[in-house]
Amino acid sequence: MFRSAREKGQASLELILVLMILVPLLFGGIELVRGVGIRHALDSGVGVATRALSLDPSQWSWATSVINQAVTGNLLGGGSVSTPVVTVYNAGGSAISAGALASLPFGAAFRLEAVVTYTPEITLVGGQTITIRVSHWGIIERYP
């Protein structure tokens, strides 16, 4: 039942090879969960901001603040995410300013989009930046 030094070395080599596969899989799974959590936080923030802008299109600064707080307050990844870039589009798909959004008439459609970049930290694998993009449609409900 005694093993030779050669057999012990083979077992060590096999252990190293298995760990080189399992460690990135484990940390990759954790980073996948973090990415899903960040996307969910961004989606929730954009949804709240879209609803608020539907009711009062002039509260642009509050809407962008809500989106920022939703992403940075996320337990799974606030520190490794860029600041959200928020853009609003009219029904035709053209980007418009906050002032143009505030002057849209009752019943006009708009789309609010937020974009963040996220770099997963996976052991033994190089990091690649991922862009997470979320958009919600809204209709101006403020009656003049």
Q: What is the pLDDT of residues 102-127, one digit of tens each?
A: 999 999 999 999 999 988 877 666 67
pLDDT at 3: 65
pLDDT at 41: 93
CB atoms within 10 A of CB 102: 16
Q: Determine the Cα–Cα distance for residues 121 and 50; give it in Å rounded to an integer.
A: 31
Indicate yes or no: pTM above 0.85.
no
Say if residues 130 and 120 touch (Cβ distance below 8 Å). Answer: yes
- 144 inside domain: no
Q: Determine the Cα–Cα distance for residues 58 and 55; give it in Å rounded to an integer.
A: 9
Q: Determine the Cα–Cα distance for residues 101 and 94; give it in Å rounded to an integer.
A: 12
pLDDT at 94: 95
Q: Strand pairing of 109-118 and 95-96?
A: unpaired
- 43 inside domain: yes
- What is the number of structural domains in the chain? 1
Q: What residues make up the domain containing 106?
A: 5-139
Under the banding of pLDDT at 50, 70 and 90, the label for residue 67 is very high
